[in-house]
Structure 1
Amino acid sequence: MHGPFVKDGLEILSEKLKSGAIGRRSFVQGAALLLGTSALGLRGTMAQAAEGELVFVNWGGDAGAAYDAAYGAPFQAETGIVVKQDGSGPLEGAIQAQFESGNPAWDIVDADPFSAEALGKKGMMEPIDYAVVDRAKMREGFGWDYAASSYFYSYIIAYDKNAYGDNPPQSMADFFDVEKFPGKRSMYKWGAGMWEAALLADGVAPDQLYPIDLERAHAKIAAIKDHVVTFWGGGSESQSVLLNGEASMALVWSTRARLIEQDSGGDITFTWNQGLIAPGAMAVVKGNPGGAANAMKFIASAQDPERQLVMFKMLGQGPANPAADALLPPEEARFNPVDPANAAVQVALDMGWYETNYGPALDAYLALVSA
């Protein structure tokens, strides 16, 4: 579910580097050793760990360099253990194939928590060792049996201020009300967050969203489908559809909302109200070559709030450790999806529901939006 989001973060990072918004020195946080410590696997190649090393599997592109700067290089400095970056993409099926091979090459994966939980219950993932990984360095409710939260993002409403003047949309009910708030809409192609948005708009209380009533959610979406100019599949598409005026309102990733506001000179802005918070996580493949103990030490080291802020600055990921919140100045905290003020008006996606229902729910959603 979060693979497209992470890949979009890499696209944003690449754009920043190309435009000069950040320099390579800033990118690696002054770590001049970056290319010498783990250049292997930075561009989507398969990494193979040697003895005393770990392989961290991410979503490719510049993710390897970002993860190395934030987590890999500091961990090597502390422990002497090299963390190689593998950008081949930790899809649930790929993780399962690693385990079933009987000789996995992967150690740690950037996984959907619900995927890690499903695989863990089948004996394919190592349980998180909370004697090593610190629950106190997690946001409440975001530590699972087989996955440890490592970042957050949100699905939120972005809108054209010029279209709505002194009466801007402030809720999912407003997003779905095309009479009170006329104009074209844009929504996410892959379903996550859209079901919850539809139910909130239909009057369901935030604490009553789960289990999701798919029939009700899809009926609500179907009712405005003629007003949806596109169901976007990538963040750049959601950004362009607002900037070029095709849509006056869209449900977008929080990382793109920030760029849209900047690129429009403030003409297009966003609200956190009734946003949907989604977590990313680190998980460990059962029987990993580097050993569960070293993998847990790596996850624990990645809980450092300063290191998580590197990922926030590079990829826009909200930090998993709440101690990071106080380290952000107000102008940056405004864009943090899990800043206390922002999180207080949002709803977190239920990973238990997604673990059981995401596949068939997505099939039904795609049939609706593509019809």
Structure 2
Amino acid sequence: MTFKTLTAALSVIALASASSAALAADGLTITSWGGAYQKSQQEAYFKPYAAKAGIKITEEEYNGEVARIRAMVQSGNTTWDAVDVDAATAQQGCDEGILTPIDYSKFGGKDKFVKGSTFECAIPTIIYSTIFAYDGDKIKDGPTKIADLFDTKKWPGKRALQKTPFGNLEFALMADGVPADKVYETLKTKEGVDRAFKKLDTIKKDVVWWEAGAQPPQLLAAGEVVMTTAWNGRIFGANKADKKNFKIVWDGQLQDWDLWAIPKGVKNLEASYKFLQFASSPEPQAEQTKWISYGPALVAATPFVQPDILKDLPTAPENAKTALANDPVFWGDNKEELLKRFNAWLAQ
């Protein structure tokens, strides 16, 4: 090798090393919701990917504020390389042009994910659900169908519902006999909305309203209600951490998603995509289920989930038979109107 050739080769190596060092120095800033959920992401994604890529991952937390993403993008100083968003934020952020459209070809196509979970500007990571549950120590042969939540003759006593039209209108229609795949079609009509509120009327005097996710297991444990709607992870957490015997009724569960999004204007789009590709691979998504009882959005991840864990996930085939997927477009179009009617109904 000539001196000139050797010098050129060493220059290439130096540039590559400098580039790798720069990437490692810059690292990635990833934002999520904190708590047990972000802890599960640390173990399944952040720590393994940082070690694999040789970079530092800086974590931040937020409460889902679209305004924080919007402010970064509009200022031209996007500091979040990836952010965990809910379905509503995924839709709104895309509509506003503050999230990057996802190139699904980098992930093998949209059909690699659970049907209905993909968004133009966000890629699904977990599936959770709103269910209803009861205390197995207090009720031996408990309810099994969504209709039981509304049956105060067979199951007398208070039941807790979240103080929002979201979920309650869907549950009311399914309890009234509307098939899951017809629920949103029905809610798009005045007659359908009237029907849902009429069904809610049948239990209104027996409802305790909850607003924070920690309340449902507390209400059950205190015996203040005989059953409650809740996020499935909260019930699972109470059973695991507090040794409760709460039973989830999966019939009519309302599934929802969290998704990864890339804010517009990230400094290294390729680096963001590489992290998302890792987080959207089977083994890491299955690993997350060891830390929190949310189902993987990637279809190929389910076979990697341990059987004793799978039985507690919303995506388990047995649990998902009658599941209803949230329609964020419907709620984006109708939330304000339905919230006004719901609040007026509460005040009656």
Contact 2:31/2:61 (CA < 8 Å) preserved in 1? yes
Secondary structure at 2:52's aligned position in 1? helix
**Using the alignment, how far apart are the partners of 1:81 and 1:355 within structure 2?**
38
Residue 358 of structure 1 and its aligned partner are, at CA, apart by 3.0
Give 2:174's aligned residue. Answer: 200
Secondary structure at 1:281's aligned position in 2? strand
Q: Deviations over 1:6-47 (max 9, x none)?
A: xxxxxxxxxxxxxxxxxxxxxxxxxxxxxxxxxxxxxxxxxx
Q: Deviations over 1:280-312 (max 9, x none)?
A: 1111111123x3222122111101222223332
1:247 aligns with 2:221: no
Distance of aligned partners of 1:71 and 1:264 in 2 relative to their CA distance in 1, 3 Å threshold? closer
Distance of aligned partners of 1:137 and 1:222 in 2 relative to their CA distance in 1, 3 Å threshold? same
One-letter amino acid of the structure 1 residue matched with residue 261 of structure 2? A
1:152 aligns with 2:150: no
Secondary structure at 1:300's aligned position in 2? helix
Contact 1:56/1:107 (CA < 8 Å) preserved in 2? yes
Question: What are the residue-to-residue correspondences of 1:1-371 with 2, within 5 Å?
Answer: 52-61=26-35, 64-134=38-108, 135-161=110-136, 165-166=140-141, 168-211=142-185, 212=187, 213-228=192-207, 230-261=208-239, 263=242, 266=245, 268-289=246-267, 291-369=268-346
Distance of aligned partners of 1:162 and 1:59 in 2 relative to their CA distance in 1, 3 Å threshold? closer
Secondary structure at 1:343's aligned position in 2? coil
Structure 1-normalised TM-score? 0.77
Secondary structure at 2:308's aligned position in 1? helix
Distance of aligned partners of 1:330 and 1:114 in 2 relative to their CA distance in 1, 3 Å threshold? same
Distance of aligned partners of 1:357 and 1:53 in 2 relative to their CA distance in 1, 3 Å threshold? farther
One-letter amino acid of the structure 2 residue matched with residue 253 of structure 1? W
Bigger Rg over Cα: 2
Residue 82 of structure 1 and its aligned partner are, at CA, apart by 3.0
Q: Percent identity?
A: 31
Residue 165 of structure 1 and its aligned partner are, at CA, apart by 4.5
Residue 162 of structure 1 and its aligned partner are, at CA, apart by 6.1
Secondary structure at 1:356's aligned position in 2? helix
Secondary structure at 2:285's aligned position in 1? helix
Residue 243 of structure 1 and its aligned partner are, at CA, apart by 1.3
Residue 264 of structure 1 and its aligned partner are, at CA, apart by 6.3
Contact 1:274/1:346 (CA < 8 Å) preserved in 2? yes
One-letter amino acid of the structure 2 residue matched with residue 222 of structure 1? D
Residue 359 of structure 1 and its aligned partner are, at CA, apart by 4.1
**Using the alignment, how far apart are the partners of 1:204 and 1:98 within structure 2?**
43
Distance of aligned partners of 1:321 and 1:181 in 2 relative to their CA distance in 1, 3 Å threshold? same
Structure 2-normalised TM-score? 0.82
Secondary structure at 1:323's aligned position in 2? helix
Residue 336 of structure 1 and its aligned partner are, at CA, apart by 0.9
Residue 250 of structure 1 and its aligned partner are, at CA, apart by 1.0
**Using the alignment, how far apart are the partners of 1:65 and 1:170 within structure 2?**
32
Contact 1:277/1:346 (CA < 8 Å) preserved in 2? yes
Number of matched residues?
319
One-letter amino acid of the structure 1 residue matched with residue 311 of structure 2? R
One-letter amino acid of the structure 2 residue matched with residue 200 of structure 1? M
**Using the alignment, how far apart are the partners of 1:370 and 1:54 within structure 2?**
48
Secondary structure at 2:96's aligned position in 1? coil
Contact 1:126/1:284 (CA < 8 Å) preserved in 2? yes
Q: Deviations over 1:37-96 (max 9, x none)?
A: xxxxxxxxxxxx997432211123465554233212322333334332111333223222
Contact 1:186/1:250 (CA < 8 Å) preserved in 2? yes
RMSD: 2.6
**Using the alignment, how far apart are the partners of 1:164 and 1:101 within structure 2?**
56
